Amino acid sequence: MNMKEIDYSKNIQLHIKVQNKPKEWRLGQAYFNYAEELYPEETNRLRGTKYDCFYNDEKIPEFLEKLNEKLLEFDGFSITNVRHQYMNTIEFEGKIFSVNGKTDDQFINEKIINLRKMRDDYQTEINKVSGDLKNLQDKRDSIQKEIDEEFLRQEHAYDLVGKYIQCDNEIYFVTGVERLFDGIKILCNWYCNPKDKLFYANSGDEALKIISFENLNAILSGNDENFKFISREKALEIINQVIKEKQ
């Protein structure tokens, strides 16, 4: 049995082809396509496996390592003990690489130097734009919060905070309000439903009720018996009655 011969000129060709790949190709796509062109049988045995780098650039080192294993197989058995003597190794993102004993500086020319500089400049710009985008998003969210709060002030929804209100058959002590598109959401740490003999208490603020702008206006105007402010004394009287009836 003779070990399969590797045409190392093809390995060098592979890296050179990738360096001159079409702009629209991703790096992993280029390595897989050109490897298939040079080593169709071995490359297609990696297609669809966890080593396939076509859709994932991060798998390129694994793909190249596994491809060399396939090239060093004889009669279906991988000679892993001699694999590293023949295997090409490479690192990406501008780091030093070696191919069949030849180092980075033997392949680099002025074009590669300029391309690497362009790539690094674009990455710097991407990082800057990403930071600017985050700042803009934070500023936008802050302005939206001010808008919502101003709407609440204009709608007098903040007048509910710290008050006892009746909404239909339920009694709430309002601890906060939030504006919604079609109404407000009240926050409270307890509410009571005398009709169902239900009393609920929570240690923290919890949104328990959404009130339409129409019902908000009714509470603020005092013209609706079902939506109104009630006194603390009246609210506690109702709560005590519900608790008593539950015992």
pLDDT in tens, 151-205: 777 788 888 999 999 998 889 999 888 888 888 888 887 888 888 777 777 655 5
**How many angstroms separate the CA atoms of 242 and 193, rounded?**
8
Question: What is the pLDDT, as a whole number, of residue 208?
Answer: 74
Task: State the DSSP H helix or E strand holding residue 141, giving kind and residue range, or none if neither.
Answer: helix 110-154
114: Cβ contacts below 8 Å, ≥ 6 apart? none
Q: pLDDT-based confidence at 98, cuts 50/70/90?
A: low
Of 37, 67, 34, whose CA–CA distance to 49 is shortest? Answer: 67
Residue 239 has pLDDT above 60, yes or no: yes
pLDDT band, residue 8 (cuts 50/70/90): low
Please, is 61 exposed, middle or buried when counting C-beta atoms within 10 Å of its C-beta (0-12, 13-18, 19+)? Answer: middle
84 vs 244, which has greater pLDDT?
244
> What Rg value do the Cα atoms of the chain yield, rounded?
35
Q: pLDDT band at 20, cuts 50/70/90?
A: confident
Report pLDDT for 87.
Answer: 41
Domain boundaries, the chain: 8-113, 157-246
Confidence check: pLDDT of 110 > 70: yes
